[in-house]
């Protein structure tokens, strides 16, 4: 090894001794407009590799004394000199070789020794305005690379406009007030507002919509007379004339406006809001005012106005503009002659729309409980129709539920393929060839044929076993008015429905052929729920009508291509647990689907089938609203187990030339704890990388198994003497890439301290926390590292206050930070300290006593108000090694002995309650019960007014208005320190919710959260966009053997719930019945769940039926128990369906929370003892190491990594890598994805003709 290193050194040095080095390349040279740096490249290496502190080879001098810079080595052949600021115009510089510089061979540089360059005349470095469009009287801001002569700018800058046959001279804008306002609008810093910035304007008004060139010609000079010899040209386009354009939705280009869609009037330039508000749309019955974008209204101008509709059908309306319509620049409307504008409307457009497309679940017993035999209306798919022929043709293709014995696999594949076909047909236009491939369950390959409108394609035309249905019709009514009808689908199974309408095609299709509207429906009373983990899958089957578990159901799992992955049967709790990972592709090209398909079947003889074979299915992608990321937990769904590795260093602070010793550990995380990874997955390379330069060293890594069943690797790295100072990370690299960094060490130049000490901050009242203290005590203790106190040592004490960002482990979704005062909250604003950092103690002197200690009383403290603050204390003293040492300690000062927190959603629809949870914790993060809390709502509205300046620029003035909406909820915290409430906020916009908690002494702590209350007309989807519920543990950490208690905050009076313990997969399950008066779940904690697990509760509520008291005499007397349950469940909860929504359909909620499991079974007890307490230099120490298992038995055959380190070194850099247990027992990520067919339920509808409101 030594011989090889010597050979490499000789080969590396041999080019340097063959001749003296010289500069091979130098830049810049000659005249260069913009110069940022000087670069020199040598023909051979001239300094040692990695020595970036070597002497500079050249001296750079410029004739401008303000031009400065600094040189540095990039590598052994490249040197650069970077200017602090770009040299201005007319600057001449020269670079000469330093005669004192010597190469690696000890010789001076040969070859050219002098180089020169100059910046030449002025050069424009940027312009304003930013964009290519300019005003007819635009003022241009030109910033040069240095100061220029204004007279030369006026003489040599011109405008050239399209359509004008001459150059237009410019005028200088030098009036102080106007210049200042424009520079403010363009955000030019004050430091740059000198002669290098010139404002020019063309002396002639520019024609609209014309091409424009701003020419900065040759001859623009510096004050000293150095002129540019090359022109710069900037291209622009003058904005279009002020015009208004009308738009509306039409069935085709020649048709009138549809009466159900909005009408929009857009302007080519901003219009004052007051003027736009006077625009009117006159209908035969009423004059309509426009709605304007709120953001535009706030800045005083609008770009468009909108009339939302609906409007009268087959009517003529008139759009009128106010007199003198002008834009914000005062330009008159160029097409004013087109107004008032006549706006005819068409009849209401034809409509055929399924309530759910391309898929929905239809309940078998939506109209009557299964307990009464399901007697009632036939299951039906809601269909909305309007202005189409009364005799609509409907076709149905049904995939039967079949029997478990004969048709499970075949029918499942057929259902999967039909579902995939309809999904693809909904996605866009296809060619004929692509449509044929889709119907053959093949990937629609790229095709150059003409696209076909899929709405004119019949998916059932070529299918067998298709029956035609007769839809309910109105007598002698053609066309049909707006109504909701039901398409009957009696048999359980998967139905493909297709409606044919000639009138719809004539209106919407270019071919005017019949149009087809498709959907599919699963008629069932079964609900299938899937939990897919990284190493398992859990299926739960329940009924839709009652939420009951379904035992003995056959389960079939397919991939997205239709291949069978697993089969099984549910147990007594309706569960089937597959204890292997589902090996399925992420995406299937043949179907266009992702994930897996899971079905469940029961035969007609099953007690819950009610005489007909039933089946249902779920796709793993049916998780909208319950995705894992919504629960604010770390997620990892990769199928392969996660590898966790850690490196233990003998020390983490070294000097260049020293050797660092390392021991590496690696394990894979499994559901049962930690395991040894497979040999194929072990990283084989150790990578050491310098942070900053990116330089890295790689060396092989050899793993070995230990006698006790462990796995580790040992390595060493000798730091080169020329190594860069700084932080080095250690990473393990395998075949699959890099693992996260295992650790880091630092290379520095340092002296070991002679003294060490401690600094402790405590309250004068000696309390556990620093709560609004009037004074503090700083206790300093300093001693010699070798022993003995530092008596009579002088010290100084300093203190800085800064705001603290408050957070607590386990409460990541809560806000604990006090509100920031804005406009309108001047009282609080005055109380708050200016800035986030302030010095309150500046080098206060003190002297240690004979024992090396001192107590310093700090009586002047900054005010805390309602905000927690950090006080950073530093005690400095002179170490005998010649260095100044600092002891630091950060103390948190709390305004109250309770800490307020608050949690709310990010938005809510206006009219709905805002779900708010107040929280009260101790400063250590423990829940505080019985604390008085209140939540106040404050409306914050920020207005920005845009003001037009002369020359095409705008200035903006902002103002925030605050309105106190009062206390929206108050009360006392429960045992978990929580105050749940529903706040009724009627005002829309940004609402700040401020939670206030008071301790026993009346001291207040505040926390804030912001929620956006959205008006119903602003939503493109209805209601909340998730199906989460809160799951609150009694505490955040449990020990094995304890029983964890969770509060389930469900919106149901009763529910059937699946409770699962999850992490890599599903670790444990149970099904429980939850009651609204005691919605708690109790779970015994198992030791193998450490270090953390996730508890999930999926709560189901069945269909709510209208069960009047007299129904007891029709069917209740036959089954009194079922009747009583149905009657009690519906009381006060049942809501009749409307034409759009069914609030009584089967519902679900999912809750998820994390708990820590503290377990000492992985912790070894290590004792280290030496034969003496003190040794002489070069003495020998006998050290005894004893290791015990957690139960006290000896840890035989264990391996020990032993390091002896100077305490003084640890005082400079503590070695955190020794905490091996904490590093290997990390927080685990959540790896389960939940999907449910419950979210696909369509629900009932109120059928019949719908009234049309007057005027639309």
The three-state DSSP-derived secondary structure of 569-632 is ECCCCCEEEECCCCCCCCECCCCCCECEEEEEEECCCCCCCCCCCEEEEEECCCCCCCCHHHHC
Rounded to whole angstroms, the Cα distance separating 114 from 96 reads 5
Res. 851 pLDDT band, cuts 50 70 90: very high
Please give the residue that has the higher pLDDT: either 390 or 1007.
1007
The span from the CA of 873 to the CA of 889, in Å, is 5
Residue-wise pLDDT for 1184-1224, tens only, equals: 999 998 888 998 888 888 888 888 888 888 999 999 988 98
What is the pLDDT confidence band of residue 268, given thresholds at 50, 70 and 90?
very high
* Per-residue pLDDT band at 1142 (split at 50, 70, 90): low
According to the model, what pLDDT value does residue 1138 have? 56
As a three-state string, the secondary structure of 937-982 is EEEEEEEEEEEECCCCCEEEEEEEEEEEEEEEEEEECCCCCEEEEE
d(CA 1199, CA 1187): 10
Average pLDDT over residues 550-568: 95
- Looking at residue 1011, its pLDDT comes to 85
At residue 10 the predicted structure's pLDDT band, cuts being 50, 70 and 90, is very low
Residue with the larger pLDDT of the pair 575 and 984:
575
DSSP H or E stretch at residue 1126: helix 1120-1130
Given a cut of 70, is residue 123 above it in pLDDT? Answer: yes
118 versus 1249: the higher-pLDDT residue is 118
pLDDT band at residue 1235 under the 50/70/90 scheme: very high
For the cut 80, the answer to whether the pLDDT of residue 1125 exceeds it is no
pLDDT score recorded for residue 296: 46
Whose CA is closest to 355, among 544, 519, 522? 519
Tens digits of residue pLDDT in 664-686: 999 999 998 889 998 888 999 99
Cα–Cα distance measured from residue 637 to residue 629, given in angstroms and rounded to the nearest whole number: 12
User: In this model, does residue 830 exceed pLDDT 50?
Assistant: no
At 944, the pLDDT band (50, 70, 90 cuts) reads low
Average pLDDT, integer, range 999-1020: 76
Q: Does residue 16 carry a pLDDT above 60?
A: no
Q: Which residue has the higher pLDDT, 51 or 372?
A: 51
| Amino acid 832: pLDDT | 40
pLDDT of 367 > 90? The answer is no
pLDDT at 472: 57
Q: What is the arithmetic mean of pLDDT over 1158-1164?
A: 81
Average pLDDT over residues 860-889: 87
| Per-residue model confidence (pLDDT) at position 1244 | 62
Of 680 and 388, more confident:
680
Output the pLDDT for position 18: 38
| CB-CB contact of 503 with 350 (8 Å) | yes
Checking if the pLDDT of 781 tops 90, the result is yes
- Mean pLDDT value across residues 562-578: 96
Mean pLDDT (whole number) for 204-228: 92
Asked whether the predicted pLDDT for residue 614 surpasses 50, the reply is yes
> Are the CB atoms for 1233 and 355 separated by under 8 Å?
no
Mean local confidence (pLDDT), 714-723: 92
Q: What mean pLDDT do residues 537-543 have?
A: 97
Q: For the residues 890-908, what does the mean pLDDT come to?
A: 88
- What is the largest distance, in Å, between two alpha-carbon atoms of the chain? 115
At residue 405, the pLDDT reads 24
In this prediction, residues 612-628 reach a mean pLDDT of 93
> Six-digit token pair at 1225?
């027992």
Per-residue model confidence (pLDDT) at position 986: 79
Quote the CA–CA distance of 855 and 846 in Å, as a whole number.
Answer: 9
Report pLDDT for 985.
82
What is the CA 700 to chain-centroid distance, rounded?
38
CB-hemisphere CA count at 13 Å for 443? 10
Q: 46: buried, middle or exposed (CB in 10 Å: 19+, 13-18, 0-12)?
A: buried
The neighbour count for residue 676, using CB atoms within 10 Å, is 14
Assign 812 a pLDDT band (cuts: 50, 70, 90): confident
- pLDDT the model gives residue 983: 84
Lowest mean pLDDT among 386-390, 439-443, 851-855, 987-991: 386-390
Looking at per-residue pLDDT, the higher value among 503 and 419 belongs to: 419
Residue appearing with tokens 């009696």: 490
Res 1215: pLDDT: 92
CA-nearest of 790, 770, 772 to 781 is 790
Q: Domains in the chain, start-ordered, CATH in brackets?
A: 16-118 (2.60.40.3710), 124-238 (2.60.40.1220), 244-344 (2.60.40), 357-524 (no CATH), 633-680+722-750+1163-1224 (no CATH), 755-889 (2.60.40.1940), 899-1023 (2.60.40.1930)
pLDDT of 1154 reads: 94
Model pLDDT, residue 470: 63
Cβ burial 818-849 (10 Å sphere, 16+ → b, else e): bbeebebbeebeeebbeeeeeeebeebebebe
pLDDT at 1107 over 60: no
Q: Give the pLDDT score at 134.
A: 93
Q: How far apart are CA 617 and CA 520, in angstroms?
A: 13
Nearest residue to 1244 via CA among 371, 377, 351, 608: 377
Q: What pLDDT does 397 receive? A: 62
pLDDT of amino acid 971: 93
pLDDT of residue 1141: 60
Backbone dihedral angles phi then psi of residue 1017, each to the nearest 5 degrees: -75, -10
What integer is the mean pLDDT of 831-844? 69
pLDDT, tens digit, 9 for 90 and up, residues 395-416: 666 654 432 222 223 479 999 9
Task: Please tell me the predicted confidence (pLDDT) of residue 1123.
Answer: 58
Pick 640 or 945 by higher pLDDT: 640
The pLDDT of residue 828 is above 50: no
| 1039-1086 per-position pLDDT tens digit | 999 999 998 988 888 899 999 999 999 999 999 999 888 888 999 999
pLDDT at 941 over 70: yes
Residue 893 reports pLDDT greater than 70: yes
Strands, sheet with 244-248, edge to edge from the N-terminal-most edge strand: 244-248, 263-272, 301-307
Residue 886 has pLDDT above 80, yes or no: yes
Mean pLDDT of the chain: 84
Write the pLDDT tens digit of every residue in 65-104.
Answer: 888 999 999 888 999 999 988 888 888 899 999 999 999 8
**What percentage of the chain exceeds 70 in pLDDT?**
87
Share of the chain above pLDDT 90, in %: 46
């Amino acid at each position: 090894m030594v011989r090889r290193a010597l050979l490499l050194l000789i080969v590396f040095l041999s080019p340097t001794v063959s001749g003296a080095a010289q500069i091979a390349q130098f830049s810049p040279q000659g005249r260069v407009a913009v110069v940022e740096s000087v670069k020199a490249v040598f023909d051979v290496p001239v300094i040692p590799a990695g020595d970036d502190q070597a002497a500079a080879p050249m001296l750079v001098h410029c004739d401008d004394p303000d031009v400065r810079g600094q040189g540095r080595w990039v590598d052994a052949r490249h040197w650069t000199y970077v200017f602090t600021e770009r040299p201005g115009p007319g600057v001449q510089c020269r670079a000469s070789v330093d005669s004192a510089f010597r190469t690696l061979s000890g010789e001076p540089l040969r070859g050219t020794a002098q180089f020169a360059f100059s910046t030449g005349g002025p050069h424009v470095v940027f312009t304003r305005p930013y964009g290519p469009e300019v005003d007819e009287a635009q003022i241009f801001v030109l910033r040069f690379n240095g100061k220029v002569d204004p007279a030369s700018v006026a003489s040599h800058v011109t405008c050239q406009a399209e359509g004008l046959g001459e150059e237009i001279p410019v005028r200088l804008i030098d009036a102080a007030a106007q210049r200042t306002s424009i520079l403010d609008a363009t955000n030019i810093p004050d430091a740059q507002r000198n002669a290098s910035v010139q404002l020019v304007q063309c002396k002639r008004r520019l024609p609209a919509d014309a091409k424009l060139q701003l020419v900065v010609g040759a001859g623009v000079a510096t004050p000293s007379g150095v002129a540019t010899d090359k022109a710069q040209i900037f291209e622009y386009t003058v904005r279009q004339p002020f015009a208004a354009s009308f738009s509306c939705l039409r069935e085709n280009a020649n048709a009138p406006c549809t009466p159900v869609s909005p009408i929009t009037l857009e302007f080519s330039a901003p219009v004052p809001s007051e003027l736009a508000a006077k625009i009117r749309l006159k209908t035969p019955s009423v004059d309509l005012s426009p709605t304007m974008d709120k953001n535009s209204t706030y800045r005083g101008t609008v770009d468009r106005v909108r009339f939302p509709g609906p409007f009268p059908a087959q009517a003529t309306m008139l759009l009128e503009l106010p007199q003198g319509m002008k834009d914000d620049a005062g330009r008159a409307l160029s097409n004013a002659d087109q107004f008032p504008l006549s706006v005819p409307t068409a009849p209401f457009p034809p409509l055929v729309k399924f309530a759910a497309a391309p898929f929905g679940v239809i309940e078998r017993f939506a109209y009557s409980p299964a307990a009464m035999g399901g007697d009632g209306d036939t299951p039906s798919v809601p269909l909305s129709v309007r202005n189409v022929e009364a005799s609509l043709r409907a076709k149905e293709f049904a995939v039967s539920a079949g029997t478990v014995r004969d048709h499970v696999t075949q029918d499942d594949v057929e259902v999967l393929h039909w579902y995939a076909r309809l999904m693809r047909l909904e996605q866009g236009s296809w060619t004929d060839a692509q449509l044929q491939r889709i119907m053959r369950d093949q990937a629609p390959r790229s095709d150059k044929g003409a696209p076909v409108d899929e709405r004119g394609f019949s998916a059932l035309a070529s299918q067998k076993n298709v029956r035609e249905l007769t839809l309910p019709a109105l007598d002698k009514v053609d066309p049909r008015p707006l109504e909701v009808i039901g398409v009957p689908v009696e048999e359980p199974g998967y139905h493909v429905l297709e409606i044919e309408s000639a009138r719809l095609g004539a209106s919407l299709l270019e071919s005017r052929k019949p149009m087809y509207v498709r959907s599919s429906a699963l008629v069932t009373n079964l609900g299938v729920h899937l939990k897919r983990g990284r190493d398992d899958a859990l299926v739960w089957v329940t009924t839709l009508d009652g939420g009951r578990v379904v035992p003995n159901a056959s389960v079939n799992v397919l991939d997205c291509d239709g291949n069978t992955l697993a089969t099984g049967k549910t147990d007594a709790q309706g569960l089937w647990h597959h204890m292997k990972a589902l090996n399925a592709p992420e995406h299937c090209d043949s179907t266009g689907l992702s994930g897996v398909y899971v079905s469940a079947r029961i035969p007609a003889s099953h007690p819950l089938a009610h005489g007909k074979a039933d089946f249902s299915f779920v796709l793993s992608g049916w998780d909208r609203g319950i995705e894992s990321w919504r629960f604010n937990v770390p997620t990892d769904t990769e199928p392969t187990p996660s590898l966790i590795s850690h490196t233990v260093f003998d020390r983490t602070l070294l000097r260049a030339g020293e050797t660092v010793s390392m021991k590496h550990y690696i394990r894979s995380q499994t559901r049962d704890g930690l395991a040894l990874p497979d040999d194929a997955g072990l990283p084989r390379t150790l990578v050491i990388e310098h942070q900053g330069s990116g330089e890295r060293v790689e060396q092989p890594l050899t793993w070995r198994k230990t006698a006790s069943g462990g796995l580790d690797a040992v390595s060493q790295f000798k730091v080169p003497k020329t190594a860069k100072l700084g932080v080095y990370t250690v990473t393990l690299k395998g075949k699959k890439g890099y693992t996260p960094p295992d650790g880091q060490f630092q290379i520095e130049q340092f002296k070991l301290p002679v003294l060490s000490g401690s600094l402790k901050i405590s309250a004068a009242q000696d309390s556990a926390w620093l709560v609004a203290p009037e004074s503090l005590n700083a206790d300093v203790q300093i001693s010699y590292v070798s022993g003995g106190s530092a008596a009579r040592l002088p010290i100084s004490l300093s203190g800085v206050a800064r705001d603290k960002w408050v957070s607590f482990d386990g409460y990541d979704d809560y806000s604990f930070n006090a509100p920031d005062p804005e406009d309108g909250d001047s009282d609080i604003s005055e109380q708050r300290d200016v800035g986030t950092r302030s010095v309150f103690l500046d080098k206060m002197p003190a002297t240690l006593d004979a024992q090396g200690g001192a107590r310093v009383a700090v009586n002047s403290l900054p005010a805390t108000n309602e905000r927690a603050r950090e006080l950073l204390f530093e005690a400095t003293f002179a170490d005998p090694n010649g260095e100044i040492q600092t002891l630091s300690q950060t103390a948190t000062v709390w305004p109250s002995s309770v800490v307020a927190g608050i949690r709310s959603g990010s938005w809510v629809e206006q009219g709905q309650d805002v779900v708010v949870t107040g929280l009260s914790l101790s400063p250590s993060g423990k829940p505080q019960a019985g604390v008085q809390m209140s939540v106040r709502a404050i409306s914050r509205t920020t207005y920005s007014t845009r003001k037009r300046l002369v020359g095409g620029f705008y200035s903006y003035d902002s103002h925030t208005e605050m309105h106190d909406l009062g206390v929206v909820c108050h009360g006392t915290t429960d045992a978990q320190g929580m105050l749940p409430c529903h706040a009724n906020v009627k005002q829309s916009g940004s609402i700040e919710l401020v939670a206030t908690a008071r301790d026993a002494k009346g001291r207040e702590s505040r926390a804030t959260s912001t929620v956006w209350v959205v008006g119903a007309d602003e939503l493109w989807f209805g209601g909340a966009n998730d199906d989460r519920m809160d799951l609150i543990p009694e505490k955040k950490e449990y020990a094995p053997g304890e029983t964890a208690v969770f509060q389930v905050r469900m919106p149901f009076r009763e529910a059937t719930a699946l409770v699962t313990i999850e992490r890599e997969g599903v670790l444990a399950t149970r099904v429980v019945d939850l009651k609204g008066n005691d919605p708690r779940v109790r779970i015994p904690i198992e030791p193998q769940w450490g270090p953390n697990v996730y508890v999930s509760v999926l709560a189901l509520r069945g269909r709510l039926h209208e069960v009047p008291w007299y129904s007891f005499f029709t069917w209740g007397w036959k089954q009194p128990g079922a009747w009583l349950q149905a009657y009690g469940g519906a009381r006060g909860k049942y809501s009749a369906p409307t034409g759009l929504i069914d609030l009584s359909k089967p519902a679900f909620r999912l809750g998820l929370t994390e708990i820590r499991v503290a377990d000492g079974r992985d912790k070894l007890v290590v004792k280290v003892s030496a034969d003496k307490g003190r040794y002489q230099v070069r003495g020998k120490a006998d050290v005894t190491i004893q290791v015990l298992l957690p139960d006290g038995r000896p840890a035989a055959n264990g391996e020990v990594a032993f390091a002896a380190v100077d305490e003084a070194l640890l005082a400079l850099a503590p070695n955190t890598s020794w905490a091996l247990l904490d590093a290997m027992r990390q927080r685990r990520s959540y790896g389960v994805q939940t999907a449910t067919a419950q979210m696909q339920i369509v629900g009932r509808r109120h059928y019949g003709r719908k009234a049309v409101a007057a005027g639309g």
